[in-house]
């Protein structure tokens, strides 16, 4: 069996679901535009630069989940999927996932974005396994804190290894392991798999892929 791992934001999606969720809440008037929008943009720039403090960011990004009921969040997310996410899902990305599923590969999305935002997106792609940052919940409501290891940079390796161990399939047990990503933040996991693939890569990853001879593809229409 082969393993296929997919980053989500700016890889399978032509955009960043975490950033867009915040902007969606701003546009709905749920969050204050002046204070939230500027900070959201600042964290996004830090992510692209490779300087993001993931725990600081998660304290910011998960707070809105704790401030609203599950019913409100679910209702908003349905609209978010229709208006923000559906336009970011292109046919080349769907075709890539279908290819791996059709040949019987074990497929998973591996993303730093929290599972509340990304679980419906994984479902839309037909990918059963999601390895994401987990928001803590208590008594049916989110607390605004992260549960366990954030699925970011080296944390992606830890989370993937734990997932594989729980399924009795170490990474070395696969005939081939592929990871698709756009971001230099994912270099730790890209270096671990047998077939790293850069997808519409950022400048840092593009340079690294060229240096190492990794394949580079585009999923943009």
Residue 130 half-sphere exposure toward CB, CA atoms < 13 A: 21
The token duo for 71 is 């019913």
For the chain, the domain total comes to 1
Output the CA torsion sign for 61, 62, 68, 74: positive
Spatial separation of the C-alpha atoms in residues 90 and 12, rounded to whole Å: 8
Residue where the block lists tokens 């679901």: 17
- pTM listed for this prediction: 0.96
Closest by CA to 193, choosing from 123, 121, 108, 133, is 108
| Full residue range of the structural domain in which residue 107 is found | 2-217
3-state SS class at 62: coil
The tokens for 33 are 């535009």
Per-residue pLDDT tens listing for the chain (221 residues): 999 999 999 999 999 999 999 999 999 999 999 889 899 899 989 998 999 999 999 999 999 999 999 999 999 999 999 999 999 999 999 999 999 999 999 999 999 999 999 999 999 999 999 999 999 999 999 999 999 999 999 999 999 999 999 999 999 999 999 999 999 999 999 999 999 999 999 999 999 999 999 999 999 97
pLDDT attached to residue 35:
87
Q: Residue 56's domain is classified under what CATH number?
A: 3.40.50.1000
Return the pLDDT at 37: 87
Q: To the nearest 5 percent, what fractions of the chain are helix, strand and coil?
A: 55, 20, 25
List active site positions.
7, 9
Which tokens go with 215? 């394949």
* Residues constituting the chain: 221
pLDDT score recorded for residue 1: 95
């Amino acid at each position: 069996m082969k393993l296929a791992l997919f980053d989500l934001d700016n890889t399978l999606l032509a955009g960043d679901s975490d950033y867009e969720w915040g902007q969606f809440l701003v546009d709905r008037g749920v969050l204050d535009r002046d204070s939230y929008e500027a900070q959201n943009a600042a964290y996004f720039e830090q992510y692209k630069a490779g300087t993001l403090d993931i725990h600081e960011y998660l304290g910011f990004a998960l707070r809105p989940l704790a401030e609203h009921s599950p019913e409100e969040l679910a209702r908003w997310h349905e609209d978010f999927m229709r208006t923000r996410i559906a336009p970011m899902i292109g046919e080349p990305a769907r075709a890539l996932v279908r290819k791996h599923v059709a040949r019987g590969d074990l497929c998973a999305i591996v993303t730093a974005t929290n599972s509340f935002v990304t679980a419906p997106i994984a479902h839309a792609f037909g990918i059963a396994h999601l390895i994401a940052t987990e928001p803590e919940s208590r008594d049916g409501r989110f607390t605004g804190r992260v549960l366990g290891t954030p699925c970011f940079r080296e944390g992606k390796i830890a989370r993937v290894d734990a997932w594989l161990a729980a399924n009795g399939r170490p990474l070395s047990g696969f005939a081939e392991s592929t990871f698709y990503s756009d971001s230099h933040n994912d270099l730790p996991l890209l270096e671990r798999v047998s077939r790293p693939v850069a997808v519409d890569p950022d400048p840092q990853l593009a340079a690294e892929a060229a240096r190492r001879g990794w394949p580079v593809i585009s999923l943009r229409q």
